[in-house]
Structure 1
Amino acid sequence: MAIPFAPVGIDHIVFLIDDMKRALAFYTDVLGCRPGYSYPGLGMEQVWFGSSLIVLWDVTHPGGTKAAPPVTGGRNVDHVCLATSPFDHDELRTHLDKHGVEIVQEAFHGGARGMGHSFYIHDPFGNKIEIKGPAEYPDGRQAT
């Protein structure tokens, strides 16, 4: 039987947080997200990262109680990879340092767009984020 839909891509991801003001500051000031949809009754704010949404759900808000992780559960996502335009690596290091964000790892490996440079960081709530530049060809050209 055929699957009744065609895959398009990732629509959004949801991060559980416990300080909305701090979360919004990180995602806008550090990662350059734009405001998205707002659900104040749920304690939820969404921010745009390019054409994808990052949902920030405050588990300390009364509307976020059903989002709270189970007591017996653990982490079930290792990281989220955010694709970016080309960037100067030293400028990114300086930007992250200015915001007090530690680079956990730098790597060059594959992703959906090909082989490229990645910087791994954590948001203020412990979520690991991979900032991944565009693919690069063996001769150093960047893929468009």
Structure 2
Amino acid sequence: MKNFTIERIDHIVLRVTDLERSLAFYTSVFGCELRKRRDDLGLLHLGAGESMIDLVAVDGPLGREGGAAAGEQGHNVDHFCLRIEPFDEQALLAHLAAAGLDVEKAQMRYGAEGKGFSIYCTDPDGNQIELKGPALEP
């Protein structure tokens, strides 16, 4: 019998080819903050709201356990979704374009809170990120 409930995603772990480039991307584009650095493992813990995004260097002690880096024929994950506030589509599109990201207009998509608008973009390693606003429909 289950004696627990899931509250939220605690963290995700992304294997990356250039730890410093990814650190710069997640801190400058999304405002994540470096919480802890584990150079002995090739691991960075980034604060992402109430959750964390961990970055692991593919050529580091932890990263080597996962095999080759993601590429055209293989990916680390399909995508992950960050719930953001506020969700101002025009401001988001301008911010992401200024960061050199190719993005499309927001679309209604289903998420943990229901259907709401979201935008997709990718990080320097090709990981797809969904930026999701509040639910507008159940």
Query: Which of the five TM-score ranges fits, normalised by the shorter chain?
Result: 0.7 to 0.9
- Number of residue equivalences: 136
Listed one character per residue, the Cα deviations across residues 7-45 of structure 1 (whole Å, up to 9, x for unaligned) are: 222111011101111101110100111112221101110
**1:41–1:63 Cα contact (<8 Å) kept:** no
1:98 paired to 2:101? no
2:21 aligned partner: 22
Q: Between Structure 1 and Structure 2, whose CA radius of gyration is higher? A: 1
**1:83–1:133 Cα contact (<8 Å) kept:** yes
Equivalent-residue separation in structure 1 for 2:90 and 2:74 (angstroms): 35
Q: Report the CA distance shift for 1:70/1:123 in structure 2 as closer, same or farther (over 3 A).
A: closer
2:58 aligned partner: 59
Moved over 6 A (4+): none
Listed one character per residue, the Cα deviations across residues 46-90 of structure 1 (whole Å, up to 9, x for unaligned) are: 10110101010001234532133489x943631101101123211
TM-score (norm 1): 0.83
1:1-144 paired onto structure 2 within 5 Å: 2-69=1-68, 74-75=74-75, 77-103=77-103, 106-136=106-136
Unmatched 5+ stretches in structure 2: none
**1:103–1:121 Cα contact (<8 Å) kept:** yes
What value does the CA root-mean-square deviation take over the aligned residues?
2.3
Unmatched 5+ stretches in structure 1: 139-144
- The 10-residue stretch of structure 1 (34-43 or 62-71) with the greater mean CA deviation from structure 2: 62-71
Equivalent-residue separation in structure 2 for 1:21 and 1:104 (angstroms): 27
TM-score (norm 2): 0.87
